[in-house]
Amino acid sequence: MPTKPLNRLMFTQGGLCFFCRAPLRPTEASVEHLVASANGGSNGDDNCVACCKALNALFGSMSLKEKIQLVLNQKGHFKCPNKAGAAKAVVTAAVVRASRPHTSGSLSEKIVRIIADLQKRGSAKPRSLKTLSSTIAALFQKRLSEQEIASLIGRLRAEGLIEVAGAKVSYDLPPTVG
C-alpha cells in the first residue's frame, strides 16, 4: 500500500478522479479535503480524496455543503474543469454562492462573481482589456488595486475563460446554469 497521501488516495480510487470518475494522471492529481482545512477539516483519509488540480482550485475553501451543491447542480452530468472542451464547473459555483452576501475576499470567490457578471452581460461583455479592467473595478466598487485586477484577469486567462490578443478580449465562458 502506498504511503504518501496522494498516492494512497489514487490507489484506493483506482486512479480515477473522485468527482468525475475520469482517469487521473498523477501529474494532474491533488488532494482535496472534503471539509476544507481552512474550515477545520482533518488530513485523514476519511476527509480527503484525489481529484484534478483545477477542481481543487475551484473548490478552494468552500464548505462541504457548497461542494455537494456544486456537484448536484450538474444533475448527473458533472463537468470537470480539467477536461478539454467541457463546460467549466466554475459557473455552478456562482449559482451556489449567489444567495450569499458578496463580502468574501478570496480569489476564487471574486472569479465566480466576475464570471456571473460577465454572463449576465450577454453580448455586451467588455471587448477591450481596459474596459474589462474598469468593469471588474466597478463590480467590486473600486475597492481593488490595479494589481488585484491584473491578477484576476490573469486567473481568468489561466482558466481559459478569456483570451487576450493585444488589447482585445474574447470569451469562452461556460453556459449559465438554469
Interval 39-79: pLDDT, tens: 888 999 899 999 888 788 778 778 888 888 777 776 666 66
Nearest one of 30, 76, 72, 73 to 54, comparing CA atoms: 30
Q: Report pLDDT digits (tens) over 140-165.
A: 998 889 988 988 998 888 878 899 89
Asked if the domains at 1-86 and 88-178 fall in one CATH topology, the answer is no
Q: Which residues of 139-165 are buried (b: 16+ CB within 10 A; e: fewer)?
A: bbeeebeeebbeebbebbeebebbeee
Q: Return the pLDDT at 85.
A: 34
What percent of the chain is modeled with pLDDT above 90? 28
- CATH number of the domain located at residue range(s) 88-178 in this protein: 1.10.10.10
When the pLDDT of each residue in the chain is averaged and rounded to a whole number, the result is 80
pTM of the model: 0.47
Q: Return the pLDDT at 25.
A: 87
Ranges 17-21, 25-29, 153-157: which has the least confidence: 17-21
Mean pLDDT of 124-139: 94
Domain ranges of the chain: 1-86, 88-178
Q: Return the pLDDT at 59.
A: 80
Top CATH class of 1-86 equals alpha beta
CA–CA dist 14, 8 (Å, integer): 10
Q: Report pLDDT digits (tens) over 72-121.
A: 776 666 666 665 433 344 444 444 444 344 444 677 788 888 988 898 88
Angle between helix 146-158 and 129-139 (nearest 10): 110
